[in-house]
Structure 1
Amino acid sequence: MRALWRFISGKRTAWAVLGATVVAVGLLFAFLPTPETDAYPASGLPDSTQSAQVAAALEDFPSAEQTAAILVWNREGGSLTDDDRAAIQERATALAADSTAPEAVRPQFSDDGEAALVVVPLDKATAEDDLAGTADALRATASEDLPDGLDSYLTGGVGFQADISNAFAGADVRLLLVTVIVVAVLLIVTYRSPVLWIVPLAVVGLADGLAGKVAKAAAESFGVTVDASISGILSVLVFGAGTNYALLLVARYREELLKQEDRSAAMFTAVTSAGPAIAASGGTVALSLITLLFAELSGNRALGFACAIGVVIAVLFALIVLPAALVVCGRGLFWPFIPRHVGEHAATKTSLWTKLGRGVSRKPVTILVVSVLGLGALSVGLVGASVGLSQTEQLLGEPESVTAQKIVDDSFSAGLTGQTIVLAPEGAVAEASQIAEETDGVDSVRPGETANGLAQLSVSLTAAPDSDEAFDTVTALRANYADASGEVSETIVGGTDATALDERTVSERDQNLIIPLILVIVFVILAVLLRSLVAPVLLLLSVLATFFASLGASNLLFQNVLGFPAFDTNVVLFAFLFLVALGVDYNIFLTTRAREERMLHGTREGMIRALASTGAVITSAGILLAAVFAVLGVLPVVALTQIGVIVCIGVLLDTLLVRTILVPALVFLTGDRFWWPSTVRAVETSDR
């Protein structure tokens, strides 16, 4: 490996590295396939769930080729007039012309006289091939020539899918643009140079483009679907992690330029010193992401697959392309603060971080107690937290489908636009219908088609779609059928509410499996890297404390400021994954340097010197990473906003409190025991 880094760091061979990179990346971009990204995230439930079984069985029913759109009309603050009713009837007739079942397109008027709705059966393949066009056509037809004050809205499955797809439309461009701006500004502030920021940004940007290309092509080969939400998280992760690695390498390179006159030698020292930490950090993140391949939800597996590829590419570019680019550009890249060669003792001057380290070393107990109490206080914000958002709570703002659903909730049965499908054996239809009608929360039951010995029952619930009440009703239905005797016990329940319930249940199982796996992986990597059993335990405890504190603080923000009543289903797992994996990055950056300094100066002085050397770069990297994840909030999707906010708060806590104060305090308290069973030690250097 040293031979490779010596080749990368050479003044002439660095040019060869950059040339080979350009050729390789160009070939990959030219010949890798570019599959279309699915803009609408699929559920990806395993075949063992009743929802998946119902969906598979429905493929053989006559109506399998159909879907339905729901149009809603209301007059805000008043009842529908006679002219309104006549206009709605005309719109229903016009909508019927484009329906696969014109005779079924009839307006239903609410009992309170304030709203009306029409269900429009459509060809499923046609609607899905051009979801946006279908939605636009329906909205145009429904709103044509309406009386003043009468409004129309599209909702139901077609409406919600159209709004979600619209939320992701252009997501890659928006995220990339905002991310690049944020990274560029922060790099300029960090480096205080009008030119230096261009190189790491260009390298990371190239890595991001390549990661997206490779991940999508590889995913298609393995039958994995990378939708727009995964592409957005992938881009943010590559930019965040890649820029972090670049900051660490550039900081060490600048430090070595002060000590060595030859920039190639300085880069060789920098990359051989910082390279193992960067590789270990990236490896930790990649392996943590790979644990998602054990998940049951295919969306979780796709995220782990794509993002692991992205992190590996970010590490390769940070350790191969960036060093070569920096060597080629020379010292002038740091203008106007060009690091001049001043000798081996260039970096020994006392800094703010040195003073902070010595201050923590004098009162480690007090600082540890205060830090833990602060993190504990933030964790209290988790009291009363819940997981799971209803369909109307998953998008920011007031998209049309959400507005329409609220009108339906107020004027009709809340579950009218939902779809709960019961499949019963043909010989048990009457009994299955009776059980459904007697279940609390069921509004109506309507027999439907039959196929392959199964009969379909369309069940309307009284609760709003995707609500806890709807989930309770689905659970009760399944339990009542399972407890019945005879053929009816084979009845299964699916549909939109059942799918959302199964997603939540399977997500909880994934969480209970993946979180322990991540902790084991992180512990093993830290133990091998630091050659200690005590250090990994303490560092993991610090990361877990940060995770719970960030969740608590975020929950308070969500409920009291942003108006989110709960965490979305997968948010807790994804937040844990990113916070633990990325938080360990800073642990690795700090403690590997502390171990290196310990060999010469002892544990106590080694930690002070490590904090002095890495404090500024870790703080800069943390602020940059937090800002990059906050960029996820530019998309009007609650789940991505929540992930961005939680990771942003967690990284800031980790950077400004845990890694700066709490971990050094733990090292000062435990002394050489922090490195147990390692026995290498040096004479402690007295305070200066």
Structure 2
Amino acid sequence: MHRQIAGKLTGPITKWIVLVVVVIAAAGFGSFAGKLLDVQDNEISSWLPESAESTQAIERLDAFQDPNDMGTTVVYYNEDGLTEAQLAAIEEHAAEIDDIEGVTDVLTPARAQEAGIPMPYVSEDGQVAKLDFTINRGDEVWYEMPDVAEDIRELTETDGVEVYVAGAGGQTADQAAAFEGFEGRLLLITLLAVILILLVSYRSPILWFLPIVTAVMGLGISMGLLYFLAKYAGLTINGQTQFIMMVLVIGAGTDYALLLVARYREELRRHEDRHEAMAFALHRAAPAILASAATVVVGLLCLMFAELNSTAGLGPANAVAIAVTFVVMVTLLPALLVIFGRWVFWPFVPHFGTEEPTASGLWARVGSSIEKRPRIVWIGTALVLGALCLGVFRLDTSGVPADEIYAGDEVDSVVGQELLNEHELVDASTPVQVVVRADEADAVAEAMTGIDGLDAPLPPFIDGDVALVQASLQTDSVSDLSKDAVLEVRDRVHAVSDDAQVTGWTALTMDIEEASERDNKVIIPIVLVAVLLILIVLLRTLLAPLLLIGTVVLSFGAALGISGLVFDFIFGLNHVDPGFPLFAFVFLVALGIDYNIFLMTRVREETVNHGTRKGSLIALSSTGGVITSAGFVLAATFAMLATMPMTFALQIGTTIALGVLLDTMIVRSVLVTAINLDLGGRIWWPSRLDRPGASVDSSGGEPEREKVPALD
């Protein structure tokens, strides 16, 4: 059936129909792409594990606080000590901050003293003072906090004093500022990187334009469709999902384009009519592209089993985007290629009847070298990759400390928090909160007394039959001391009351880390099984898929190992988010297996006429260049994430880029090819594709070409 579809999509008339349909879809959906930001859900609930204690406690806090309330701390620092005039200026600032929309509960050193609040607002050495307030801007707080923080910096500017906006509000402002406007910059630098690689790969000043236009149209349609799904179907999309989607669609879409264009160029040398050449090319390449896209889609959909909402939400949105990209790439791109004709390859135009240059190129020579001693090659390669896996022990998955969240220059919230910690001032914006029945509040408050790293609890707040007990942490909310304090709070209050639930910034962080660890253990095996099943269906065999899965897992381990060394000894950022291994695994396995799919589908095709060993060499020489180009494209697109000022983006971009290059240059070209050459026809067990008695043409001639249905 796909042979018939391939013939119909690329006919002299239908190519124009395809072009018009896709352009209309791109114009329609693309007009809503810019609105995707409006339906993003960056509320804390869109990131949290639903079953976690801290998440459930937040739902009970509505009686005591608005969920959009955000504690913020302004930190004042003078190395020589704050003067009386400077302390007086802080009190004057409070009156101006009071007038900012959504601000309540402004506390300064003087106001805190008048209210009888026991915690200090000026350090003992007199170098640091703080001002606390709560801000509520509703659902727009994520987008508005950078502007609020900048306004506060301006009105608190004091001669001789360094001022930093910290606390939960400061962290939100810095994170939002890091993402603000970055979607456009990320898309631009990603496209520029891809264009450069395509220019080198195609050696044509024209051809690169068609894959780029097609990929951008696919991205526009995807974003427009996701806007409607988020607005009307309840699909959750946040900032993390959107920036990953941009690089994923451009990278994967360009990969599919490279494979199709390479096969089309081959067929142009065999067919005088370009429509017929594209029909054969699409018929041959589409199954591999479909399998590749299906692997990514299924891998992403497996994320729906995640307990962490931010992880579970990322999967469906990106799966939709990849599915749309696949459809656009196998419809619009073939139509554009046959519309433009052979000249689009200028100056290296593939004329009918000319020799295929890949038969004697670099990868043909690599294959010949491996052919001499394939067993030694694959065993040696596997041992080297295994040794690289040891670098994973340099990774610390306990979470990223506050001072490492941002790559590069330190930001206000980090510097301010460090000053508070160094000068033993409590950050009241991130207290430990316990929700409990009102009749058990006093017992819970007593149980929270005397815990290291925790101030004495405030008197319980009571609303009907529910009470809130809270106490301030004495150090950074994500420090080991704070986490230990929360663990002890949970142990103590659970012993007092079965109804007590502990939440707060630290508790949320701990529950997210626990959910991430659980997701790693559950989802990684699910993804492996799903990808294995796709390979079994595609290759119609069992041993080859098992070996391919093994090589990808080995490649993943080596990529993590190299990353551990790079993060530690080059970046100085060896702490990673607990969810980092899962993200890296899903993208590396789903994307890395693509190159094995591209290679092995060609091996299977050539095996029918040449046998496995010769078919493997033909496949390597034919696909080597295009797969290498595809690997560089995908690595470059994900490497662009490293330009973001967030450590997580730097780390995930670096790891995926390294892993993709490893898959492209070593695993696919050396390891898999060597295994194929060593095992020969046994690779297809239990299939008899290349076994005694199977029908195989060993003459070495060109594979017989099927007849494609008549073109329009």
The alignment's TM-score, normalised by the length of structure 1, stands at: 0.94
Q: Which of 87, 90, 95 is matched with 1:88 structurally? A: 90
Is the contact between residue 53 and residue 502 of structure 2 (CA under 8 Å) also seen in structure 1? yes
Matched position secondary structure for 2:431: strand
Is the contact between residue 54 and residue 495 of structure 1 (CA under 8 Å) also seen in structure 2? no
Q: Which residue of 2 aligns with 1:367?
A: 377
Is the contact between residue 289 and residue 305 of structure 1 (CA under 8 Å) also seen in structure 2? yes
- Which stretch of the first structure deviates more once superposed, 116-125 or 304-313? 116-125
Q: Which residue of 1 aligns with 2:80?
A: 78
Quick one: which amino acid aligns to residue 3 of structure 1? Answer: Q
Alignment of 1:431 with 2:452, yes or no, is no
Distance 1:261 1:69, change over 3 A: same
**Deviations 1:430-478 (CA, angstroms, capped at 9, x unpaired):** 3212221233332332224222422222222234222333223222221
- Which stretch of the first structure deviates more once superposed, 379-388 or 523-532? 379-388
Between the aligned partners of 1:78 and 1:127, the Cα distance in structure 2 is 39
- Which stretch of the first structure deviates more once superposed, 576-585 or 380-389? 380-389
Distance 1:522 1:620, change over 3 A: same
What is the number of residues matched between the two proteins? 679
**Deviations 1:330-372 (CA, angstroms, capped at 9, x unpaired):** 00000011111116x6467422211211211211222123212
Distance 1:457 1:124, change over 3 A: farther
Between the aligned partners of 1:535 and 1:284, the Cα distance in structure 2 is 16
Between the aligned partners of 1:639 and 1:516, the Cα distance in structure 2 is 23
Distance 1:368 1:63, change over 3 A: closer
Between the aligned partners of 1:195 and 1:288, the Cα distance in structure 2 is 34
Matched position secondary structure for 2:458: strand
Matched position secondary structure for 1:112: coil
Q: Which of 266, 269, 274 is matched with 2:280 structurally? A: 269
Alignment of 1:444 with 2:456, yes or no, is yes
**Deviations 1:203-236 (CA, angstroms, capped at 9, x unpaired):** 1111111111212321232323312221110010
Quick one: which amino acid aligns to residue 493 of structure 2? Answer: Y
Q: Which residue of 1 aligns with 2:492?
A: 480
Between the aligned partners of 1:103 and 1:304, the Cα distance in structure 2 is 43
- Which stretch of the first structure deviates more once superposed, 22-31 or 369-378? 22-31
Matched position secondary structure for 2:63: coil
Q: Which of 596, 600, 606 is matched with 1:597 structurally? A: 606
Q: Which residue of 2 aligns with 1:8?
A: 9
Matched position secondary structure for 1:34: helix
TM-fit CA distance, 1:245: 0.4
Is the contact between residue 481 and residue 490 of structure 1 (CA under 8 Å) also seen in structure 2? no
**Deviations 1:165-208 (CA, angstroms, capped at 9, x unpaired):** 11111121011111110111111110000001001110111111
1:228-627 equivalences in 2 (<5 Å) = 228-342=239-353, 346=356, 349-387=359-397, 388-396=399-407, 397-413=409-425, 416-484=428-496, 488-627=497-636
Quick one: which amino acid aligns to residue 12 of structure 1? Answer: I
Is the contact between residue 45 and residue 55 of structure 2 (CA under 8 Å) also seen in structure 1? no
Between the aligned partners of 1:126 and 1:11, the Cα distance in structure 2 is 52
**Deviations 1:233-291 (CA, angstroms, capped at 9, x unpaired):** 00100000000000000000001111111111110110000110001110111111111
Matched position secondary structure for 2:503: strand
- Which stretch of the first structure deviates more once superposed, 676-685 or 187-196? 676-685
Is the contact between residue 260 and residue 341 of structure 1 (CA under 8 Å) also seen in structure 2? yes
Alignment of 1:57 with 2:48, yes or no, is no
Quick one: which amino acid aligns to residue 323 of structure 1? Answer: P
Q: Which of 134, 143, 159 is matched with 2:148 structurally? A: 134
Quick one: which amino acid aligns to residue 492 of structure 1? Answer: Q
TM-fit CA distance, 1:602: 0.8
Distance 1:356 1:384, change over 3 A: closer
- Which stretch of the first structure deviates more once superposed, 598-607 or 124-133? 124-133
Q: Which residue of 2 aligns with 1:23?
A: 24
Q: Which residue of 1 aligns with 2:652?
A: 643
Is the contact between residue 49 and residue 511 of structure 2 (CA under 8 Å) also seen in structure 1? no
Is the contact between residue 555 and residue 667 of structure 2 (CA under 8 Å) also seen in structure 1? yes
Is the contact between residue 39 and residue 165 of structure 1 (CA under 8 Å) also seen in structure 2? no
Distance 1:525 1:62, change over 3 A: closer
Between the aligned partners of 2:356 and 2:208, the Cα distance in structure 1 is 24
Between the aligned partners of 2:561 and 2:28, the Cα distance in structure 1 is 47
Quick one: which amino acid aligns to residue 26 of structure 1? Answer: A
Is the contact between residue 610 and residue 697 of structure 2 (CA under 8 Å) also seen in structure 1? yes
Distance 1:572 1:414, change over 3 A: farther
Between the aligned partners of 1:191 and 1:153, the Cα distance in structure 2 is 51
Q: Which residue of 2 aligns with 1:101?
A: 105
The alignment's TM-score, normalised by the length of structure 2, stands at: 0.91
Distance 1:413 1:237, change over 3 A: same
Quick one: which amino acid aligns to residue 71 of structure 1? Answer: V
Quick one: which amino acid aligns to residue 131 of structure 1? Answer: M
Matched position secondary structure for 1:100: strand
Matched position secondary structure for 2:278: helix
Q: Which residue of 1 aligns with 2:709?
A: none
TM-fit CA distance, 1:48: 2.5
Quick one: which amino acid aligns to residue 324 of structure 1? Answer: A
Distance 1:464 1:32, change over 3 A: closer
Distance 1:414 1:543, change over 3 A: farther
Distance 1:157 1:140, change over 3 A: same
Gaps of 5+ in 2: 113-119, 691-695, 701-712
**Deviations 1:393-419 (CA, angstroms, capped at 9, x unpaired):** 222221111111111111124655432
Is the contact between residue 172 and residue 228 of structure 1 (CA under 8 Å) also seen in structure 2? no
Is the contact between residue 39 and residue 231 of structure 2 (CA under 8 Å) also seen in structure 1? no
Between the aligned partners of 1:62 and 1:685, the Cα distance in structure 2 is 80
Is the contact between residue 107 and residue 132 of structure 2 (CA under 8 Å) also seen in structure 1? no
Is the contact between residue 304 and residue 312 of structure 2 (CA under 8 Å) also seen in structure 1? yes
TM-fit CA distance, 1:114: 1.4
Is the contact between residue 424 and residue 475 of structure 2 (CA under 8 Å) also seen in structure 1? no
1:204-243 equivalences in 2 (<5 Å) = 204-243=215-254
Is the contact between residue 41 and residue 236 of structure 2 (CA under 8 Å) also seen in structure 1? no
TM-fit CA distance, 1:534: 0.6
Gaps of 5+ in 1: none
- Which stretch of the first structure deviates more once superposed, 494-503 or 409-418? 409-418
Between the aligned partners of 2:442 and 2:412, the Cα distance in structure 1 is 38
Distance 1:216 1:568, change over 3 A: farther
Distance 1:40 1:167, change over 3 A: farther
TM-fit CA distance, 1:131: 2.5
Distance 1:193 1:384, change over 3 A: closer
Q: Which of 664, 676, 680 is matched with 1:671 structurally? A: 680
Q: Which residue of 2 aligns with 1:48?
A: 51
Distance 1:9 1:390, change over 3 A: same
TM-fit CA distance, 1:566: 1.1
- Which stretch of the first structure deviates more once superposed, 374-383 or 534-543? 374-383
- How high is the sequence identity, in percent, across the aligned residues? 36
Matched position secondary structure for 2:457: strand
Q: Which residue of 1 aligns with 2:707?
A: none
